[in-house]
Amino acid sequence: MIRGAEEEDGLWGLFVNVTATIGTRRGETCALRWEDVDFKSQRVHIRRALCKGVNGPVEAKLPKTGRERTVMVGQAFFDQLRDRRQVAGWIFTGGQNVPFGEAPWHPDWPGHRFASLMRRLDLPYTLHSLRHFVATQLLAKGMPVTQVAQFLGHKDPSVTMDLYANHVVDDVQRMMGETAASLFKRRPPFRLIDEEAR
């Protein structure tokens, strides 16, 4: 998916990569500014989300949980951002008849563009599927639910459990059942060899 987005446009590929890596909601990704990215400490500060305003224009608000969060991300993530690094301003800007640097992407636009990408790649995913993937992979690797909830910006870890962990639990239960069944494979029944058949 990321490679497919990069083939269309480098900045669009970066948007998909950022969303997939840190599991942000699309409005949170659209709202990222260069000053939110701390290259030295390898942290991304998620301070706001863009959403449609009541009267039409886009508004910047606190993320859905009502509070900011900071996520630590690995070096490879920052290496990809470094090529486009700016001192300040919106990370995802320009296009859609808007000059680069003047306004961030509207939060609806990436959803529509991602749907178009999925049709082209013949895949059944939505932009939110990237967030789901991050959550389930972190949980499957044994990360504590409380930490995954904090990473994703959930107010309550029970939200993370309800939305994502149950899928992981089902997969783990299925693997455990298959493993247990393989421990006691049935062997062919013991047969006495008929003396005359020898």
For position 82, what pLDDT does the model report?
87
The total number of residues shown for the chain amounts to: 198
Q: Which residues contact 135 (CB under 8 A, 6 or more apart)?
A: 23, 148, 152, 160, 163, 164
Burial per residue of 112-128, b for 16 or more beta-carbon CB atoms within 10 angstroms, e otherwise: ebbeebbeeeeeeeebe
Q: Which amino acid is at 103?
A: A
Residue 46 neighbours by CB distance under 10 Å: 22
For position 191, what pLDDT does the model report?
62
Q: Which residue has the higher pLDDT, 194 or 45?
A: 45
Answer whether residue 97 shows pLDDT above 60.
no
Residues 110-123 have a mean pLDDT of 94
Residue in 153, 104, 155, 108 with CA at minimum distance from that of residue 131: 153
Report the C-alpha gap between 166 and 157 in whole angstroms: 12
Report the C-alpha gap between 101 and 25 in whole angstroms: 21
* pLDDT bucket at 175, cuts 50 / 70 / 90: low
Long-range own/partner contacts, residues 133-139 (CB < 8 A, 24 or more apart): 133/20, 134/20, 134/21, 134/22, 134/23, 135/23, 135/160, 135/163, 135/164, 136/164, 136/167, 136/168, 139/164, 139/165, 139/168
Domain boundaries, the chain: 2-125, 138-183
Q: Which residue has the higher pLDDT, 83 or 183?
A: 83
| 35-61 per-position pLDDT tens digit | 999 999 999 999 999 998 776 678 889
For position 92, what pLDDT does the model report?
92
Residue in 138, 119, 118, 120 with CA at minimum distance from that of residue 128: 118
For position 170, what pLDDT does the model report?
64
Percent of the chain with pLDDT over 70: 81
For position 181, what pLDDT does the model report?
73
For position 66, what pLDDT does the model report?
87
Half-sphere exposure of 198 (CA within 13 A, CB side): 4
- Looking at every residue in the chain, the average pLDDT score rounds to 84
Answer whether residue 8 shows pLDDT above 70.
yes
Q: Which amino acid is at 60?
A: A
Report the C-alpha gap between 160 and 150 in whole angstroms: 9
In 23-155, where does DSSP find H-type helix?
A: 26-30, 75-82, 108-121, 127-140, 145-152
Q: Which residue has the higher pLDDT, 185 or 197?
A: 185
Q: Which residue has the higher pLDDT, 99 or 14?
A: 14
Residues 186-195 have a mean pLDDT of 62
* pLDDT bucket at 190, cuts 50 / 70 / 90: low
